[in-house]
């Protein structure tokens, strides 16, 4: 079949095995997700080949009959890639490329391709490079054109075991160097986190499936904040993994209550272990949070899948004990009837539209109730000689009343229980 070529696009055949076993995610959802990942790479899926099988073939992933069928499809289509909905070994990639005579991409290679093109910050680029190298090292014997898409270039083949070992050693050295650089970034992030803890500023993280609307919600909160607004907002675009860099900002309301809001990298199912490991320093922001907001695109047919993906990744991070709320975002894109039909798949949820602010008041109320629950309002009388203490409280705490008296400044202020001993000498009785 001849395809009308669009020079801006590449074309591919998608291959998936439907394993005959219970899985957290359905085969249909997984295939649908790979199509979206391909779309994010500007690759159009022109044909789909599936097989039901207990487990993949060690050397070729597919059985002999399906391989022949796939070769026939390739001969009928002018395609750039064959994409597999799973991670392949180096041997499988080598054997498949030799038999099919075309470039083979697996699911992880596809995700790495997207990440390589989207990373903007120094940290993001280092994390992607680390993930790519960790993915590449055990597959040197089989990787071909796949590496050119992620920035490594085609590896020479048939140069003997010594060259293979040399390549592996070079990759190991590079991995070590990148890990050292990322460790320095992590130290800086830890210092920032400790400073926030010292200042008793709670942290809320937005987590969820990629393109669920986290960055839009982040920007809406920034518009509501009364101070510390950044000139640059979170990047927003209707695509998977529009941004990889975590983005944190202090949000302050009119009552002077503040918290750090973090927008984190989006999730997908079967998120490669190498990527989870590489982005550990970024994802630690999630682990250290006081409250999580699970963002789900309720307008998507795969909304249940999105929530499962989020819950699964949070569990992998061992952050599932952190209090959370599920927000069904983008309700402005569907009718009330459809919203009602999709029903409640979580025990605690809020319907919102981050784009136009529907339900945000309720979300703010829920966040405040959770992160400020250990606070108490107290009366303080601070001598004028300790004016720096008064100034600090005025700039960082919620104050309902202030009165300048002969003995000093009277404040009715909200403090955390953990702070009471620090200000005990100023208590007004």
For 199-228, letters b (16+ CB in 10 Å) and e give ebbbbbbbbbbbbbbbbbbbbbbbebbeee
Q: How far apart are CA 360 and CA 364, in angstroms?
A: 6
Any idea what DSSP says for residue 288?
T
Residue the block writes with tokens 């960055």: 215
Q: Confidence class of residue 201 from pLDDT cuts 50, 70 and 90?
A: confident
Rounded to 5°, the CA angle 303-368-334 comes to 25
User: Contact, 397 vs 372, CB < 8 A?
Assistant: no
In the chain, list all ranges with CATH 3.40.50.300.
200-371
Q: How far apart are CA 137 and CA 143, in angstroms?
A: 10
In the chain, list all ranges with CATH 3.40.50.11060.
10-149
Any idea what DSSP says for residue 24?
S
Q: Confidence class of residue 227 from pLDDT cuts 50, 70 and 90?
A: low
Give the chain's count of helices (H) and strands (E).
Answer: 14, 13
User: How far from each other are the two terminal CA atoms of the chain, in whole angstroms?
Assistant: 86
Taking 50 as the threshold, does the pLDDT of residue 158 lie above it?
no
Architecture of domain 10-149: 3-Layer(aba) Sandwich (3.40)
Is the whole-model pTM more than 0.95? no
Q: What is the pLDDT of residues 76-101, one digit of tens each?
A: 888 899 999 998 988 999 999 999 99
How high is the pLDDT of residue 28? 87
Which range (144-153, 191-200, 243-252, 414-423) has the least confidence? 144-153
Query: Which of 266, 226, 230 lies closest to 248, judged by CA?
Result: 230
How high is the pLDDT of residue 148? 46
Rounded to 5°, the CA angle 160-139-61 comes to 115
Taking 80 as the threshold, does the pLDDT of residue 263 lie above it?
yes
Question: Domain 200-371 falls in which CATH fold?
Answer: Rossmann fold (3.40.50)
CA atoms within 13 A on the CB side of 293: 35
Higher pLDDT, 178 or 235: 178
CA 148 to chain centre: 25
How high is the pLDDT of residue 114? 82
Higher pLDDT, 416 or 47: 47
φ/ψ (deg, to 5) at 327: -115, 125
Query: Which of 24, 22, 79 lies closest to 47, judged by CA?
Result: 79
Query: Which of 126, 168, 89, 88 lies closest to 278, judged by CA?
Result: 126
For 73-95, letters b (16+ CB in 10 Å) and e give bbeebebbbbbbbbbbbbebbbb
CA atoms within 13 A on the CB side of 252: 13
How high is the pLDDT of residue 147? 47
Q: Which residues pair with 358 in a beta bridge?
A: 353
Higher pLDDT, 328 or 230: 328
Average of pLDDT values for 159-186? Answer: 81
Higher pLDDT, 3 or 118: 118
Average of pLDDT values for 196-202? Answer: 70
Average of pLDDT values for 296-304? Answer: 89
Rounded to 5°, the CA angle 263-264-265 comes to 135
Average of pLDDT values for 176-184? Answer: 89
Taking 90 as the threshold, does the pLDDT of residue 326 lie above it?
yes
For 287-318, letters b (16+ CB in 10 Å) and e give ebbbbbbbbbbbbbebbbbbbbbbbbbbeebe
How high is the pLDDT of residue 403? 92
Taking 50 as the threshold, does the pLDDT of residue 23 lie above it?
yes
Any idea what DSSP says for residue 321?
T
Share of the chain above pLDDT 70, in %: 83
Q: How far apart are CA 271 and CA 277, in angstroms?
A: 10
pLDDT, the chain, mean: 82
CATH number for the domain formed by residue range(s) 375-426: 3.30.70
Which range (54-63, 99-108, 239-248, 345-354) has the least confidence? 239-248
Sheet strands (E) in 62-147: 81-84, 103-106
How high is the pLDDT of residue 323? 93
In the chain, list all ranges with CATH 3.30.70.
375-426
Average of pLDDT values for 273-292? Answer: 76
Average of pLDDT values for 111-133? Answer: 82
Q: Confidence class of residue 155 from pLDDT cuts 50, 70 and 90?
A: very low
Average of pLDDT values for 214-235? Answer: 74
Taking 90 as the threshold, does the pLDDT of residue 70 lie above it?
yes
């Amino acid at each position: 079949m001849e395809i009308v070529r669009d020079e801006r696009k590449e074309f591919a055949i998608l291959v998936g095995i439907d394993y005959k076993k219970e899985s957290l995610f359905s085969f249909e959802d997984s295939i649908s997700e790979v199509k979206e990942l391909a779309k994010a790479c500007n690759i159009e899926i022109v044909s789909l080949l599936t097989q039901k099988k207990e487990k993949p073939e060690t050397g070729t992933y597919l059985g002999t009959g399906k391989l022949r069928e796939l070769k026939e499809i390739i001969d009928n289509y002018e395609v750039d890639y064959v994409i597999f909905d799973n991670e392949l070994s180096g041997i499988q990639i080598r054997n498949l490329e030799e038999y099919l005579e075309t470039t083979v991409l697996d699911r992880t290679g596809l995700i790495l391709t997207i990440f390589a093109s989207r990373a903007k910050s120094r940290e993001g680029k280092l994390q992607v490079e680390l993930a790519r190298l960790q993915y590449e090292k055990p597959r040197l014997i089989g990787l071909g054109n796949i590496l050119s898409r992620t920035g490594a270039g085609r590896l020479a083949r048939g140069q003997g075991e010594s060259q293979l070992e040399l390549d592996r050693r070079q990759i190991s050295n590079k991995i070590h160097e990148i890990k050292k650089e990322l460790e320095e970034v992590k130290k800086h992030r830890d210092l920032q986190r400790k400073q926030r803890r010292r200042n008793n500023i709670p942290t809320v993280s937005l987590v969820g499936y990629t393109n669920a609307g986290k960055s839009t919600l982040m920007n809406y909160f920034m518009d509501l904040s009364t101070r510390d607004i950044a000139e640059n907002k979170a990047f927003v675009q209707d695509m998977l993994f529009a941004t990889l860099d975590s983005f944190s900002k202090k949000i302050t309301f009119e009552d002077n209550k503040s918290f750090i809001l973090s927008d984190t990298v989006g999730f997908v199912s079967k998120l490669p272990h190498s990527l989870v490991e590489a982005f550990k320093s970024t994802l630690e922001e999630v682990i250290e949070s006081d409250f999580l907001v699970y963002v789900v695109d309720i307008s998507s047919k795969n909304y249940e899948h999105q929530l499962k993906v989020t819950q699964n990744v949070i569990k992998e991070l061992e952050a599932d004990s952190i209090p959370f709320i599920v927000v069904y975002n983008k309700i402005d894109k569907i009718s009330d009837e459809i919203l009602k039909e999709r029903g409640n798949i979580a025990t605690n949820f809020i319907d919102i539209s981050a784009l136009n602010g529907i339900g945000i008041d309720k979300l703010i109320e829920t966040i405040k109730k959770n992160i400020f629950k250990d606070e108490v309002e107290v009366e303080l009388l601070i001598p004028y000689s300790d004016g720096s203490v008064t100034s600090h409280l005025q700039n960082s705490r919620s104050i309902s009343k202030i009165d300048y008296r002969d003995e000093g400044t009277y404040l009715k202020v909200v403090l955390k229980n953990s702070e009471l001993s620090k200000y005990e000498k100023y208590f007004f009785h």
